[in-house]
Structures are given as C-alpha cells and as structure tokens.
Amino acid sequence: MKTKKEKKSEYNKQYREKNKERLLEYSRRYYHENKEKSAEYSKQYREKNKEKITEHNKRYWAENKETLAEQNKQYREENREKISKQRKQYREKNKEAIAERQKKHYHKNKEYIIEQHRQYRNGLKENIIYKVICPDKRYYIGSTTRGIQERLYRHFSDPRDKKESLPEYLRDKKYTREDIEVEVLEKFESGYELDMREREYEIIAKYINDPFCLNKRNFVYGDKHVDNHKI
C-alpha cells in the first residue's frame, strides 16, 4: 500500500504529463512577464548555491560524458556559421575586457606559458598533410614540415602569400583561427618529405574539381602539373 507522500508524488507526475503543454505555455508567459525578477532570482540562487551547482554539473557530466560530447559535436556541425558569428560579435563587443583578461592571465601564469611555448617550438617540426575546413564548408588541403600550428600561423599572418588561395579567402571572409577546423589527414616520419608531397598531390588531384575545394585549379608540384580540365 502506497504512503500519502507516494500517492501525492504519483498524482503530481500524472498531472504534469497530462498538462505538459499548458504548463509549458504558462512557464513561458510567466517568464516574459517577470523577466527581470526571474533573472535576479536566478542570479541570487546561483551565487548562494555555487558549490552545489558546480558539483551537480561535474557529476552530471561524468555520468553523461559521451552523450553530451556527441550532442555538442552535432550542434557545432549544424550551427557552424551561427557559432562563428556569435564569437565574432562577442569579441568585438568585449574587445577591451578580453585584452585585459588575457594580460592578467599571462602575468599570473608567465612561467608556465613560457615553458609551454618552449615545448611547442621544440615540437614544431612535423610532416603532416592537413585539411582546413571553413564555416561555409569550403576546405583547403595542404602539407607542412614544420607542424600544423606554424603552418596555420603563416596562412593567417602573411598577407604576401600569393602562391596559395587560402590566405586570400580567409582575409576576404574575415575568418579567424577560432572559426576554422583542422583535420590531420596523414603523418609522415622525418626523411619521407618527398613521399608526403607525392601523397599530397594525389589527394588534391582527387578533390580539385569539387567547387568547395579552395586549392587553385591549376597547381604544380615538382615536375607534375594538374589542370582541372584534364582530370
């Protein structure tokens, strides 16, 4: 036999299920009519229960890690341009605050950052064929013997790079490093640079007719010349 508390809980559950849409509409209307009051209450609640909320979020993340990661990935893929636009607007709106926060972070973690940079420079040399994917789904295939981060830095920072179409496209679209995704297609050990160039040639030749491919329609590697009309 159910207790009074269990009966009440069961009744409330059935009531919520039966009146789901009506309750949702009431909640929305109440929120819009009391927006400032609700925001202030939420703020006070978060401040009062900061540790409790943090612990709950950690536990929830640990229990649903894979599901949440998949949901986040799917959301980013479906809303890539929207996210990129929001990031740009946020950076423009909070330019001074971001600069000040970065400055404080650097001074607070100066030794650690210097050590990270040293390790980064030591690991720059790496033979990689990579794919840069822009928010509008256009992509570029390239290779580097100095590591992907160094190559990306060149793509974004060198306005004189006239030999490739990617830097020009990034400037025209005003894309930043945060806007793009990078996929490592293949890695090669030191001493296999020629094999890497040959493989890069094969991959570009495969995709050169794709309208989303940003590699120039005519390109030369060594004594090999590819024209999109001849592929």
| Burial zone of 67 (CB within 10 Å; 0-12 exposed, 13-18 middle, 19+ buried) | exposed
Mean pLDDT rounded to a whole number for the chain: 82
* Better-predicted residue by pLDDT, 101 or 226: 101
pLDDT surpasses 60 at 98: yes
**pLDDT at residue 160, rounded to an integer:** 52
Average pLDDT on 149-157 reads 79
In this prediction, residue 17 has a pLDDT band, given cuts at 50, 70 and 90, of confident
Name residue 184's amino acid.
V
Among 131-135, 141-145, 152-156, 204-208, the least confident range:
152-156
Band (139; pLDDT cuts 50, 70, 90): very high
Residue 117: band (very low, low, confident or very high) from pLDDT cuts 50, 70, 90: confident
pTM of the predicted model over 0.95: no
Q: Is residue 134 scored above 90 in pLDDT?
A: yes
pLDDT in tens, 26-52: 888 888 888 888 888 888 998 999 899
> What pLDDT, in 10s, does the model give residues 185-203?
999 887 888 999 999 999 9
CB atoms within 10 A of CB 144: 21
Residue 141 has pLDDT above 90, yes or no: yes
Centroid of chain to Cα 33 = 36
